[in-house]
Amino acid sequence: MHNPTTRLMLVTPPVADADAMAFKLMQAQAGGDVAAILLRLADGDERTRIERVKRLAGPVQAGNVALVVEAPALIASRGGADGVHLTGGAEAIAEARSSLKSERIIGAGGLRSRHDAMDIGETGVDYVLFGEPRPDGSLPPLPAVIERASWWAEIFETPCVAYAPDAESVPALVETGAEFLALGAWAFDEGSDIRALVGEANAAIAARAARKAAR
């Protein structure tokens, strides 16, 4: 299987203040290449959540970055997002596909096993995500995520995203050959330099690409 250069995805914490997040995302994009933003929304009524998506869609997409929302398809589409990220299995994917235009992205996470991942991959999703925090906030062991992303990237055509639980894990996850590397909510923490984190992750990606080219 071909292994294109890995690109970055940023996974936001639950967003209540869209203006503050817009500023953070502008800083992140100044740090280097970002392929996509996975926007998670704080609780709120439907109209409020749609307005948050609208506020962020313009600035994100102006930088040629895809905005994918972890929310029902209605909120994503009315907010002008490029697609949805779902964790509800094949049924949720089928429901989203029936209401979204075919050009919108449908990604999947919450995959607990290889069997889950293969089942979801067969639904025709645009990517699968490995290693994101579980519903209780705990994280799967990093070696397991490395193994799963390496296996998937080697065998399957559907792109995969490897979720980095911290900056230190980035180089090892880049080595998996995953099409995307996700920097999680930790990159948005108060005191974190998200511009620098994006730059460092892109440097790790470039270093791997250079080593491959030199072989």
Delineate the domains of the chain, giving CATH numbers in brackets: 7-214 (3.20.20.70)
Residues 2-36 have pLDDT tens digits of: 456 899 999 999 999 999 999 999 999 999 999 99
Q: Dihedral sign for Cα 116, 121, 126, 127, please.
A: positive
Chain centre distance of CA 66:
10
Q: How confident is the model at residue 100 (pLDDT cuts 50, 70, 90)?
A: confident
pTM for the whole thing? Answer: 0.95
pLDDT at 1 (0 to 100): 41
pLDDT at 2 (0 to 100): 47
pLDDT at 121 (0 to 100): 94
Cβ neighbours for 11, distance < 8 A, ≥ 6 positions apart: 38, 40, 132, 163, 182, 183, 184, 185
The number of CA neighbours under 13 Å toward the Cβ of 183 is: 31
Residues 101-132 have pLDDT tens digits of: 777 999 999 998 999 999 999 999 999 999 99
Assess whether pLDDT exceeds 60 at residue 191: yes
Contact call for residues 132 and 160 (beta carbons, < 8 A): no
Cβ neighbours for 90, distance < 8 A, ≥ 6 positions apart: 119, 120, 123
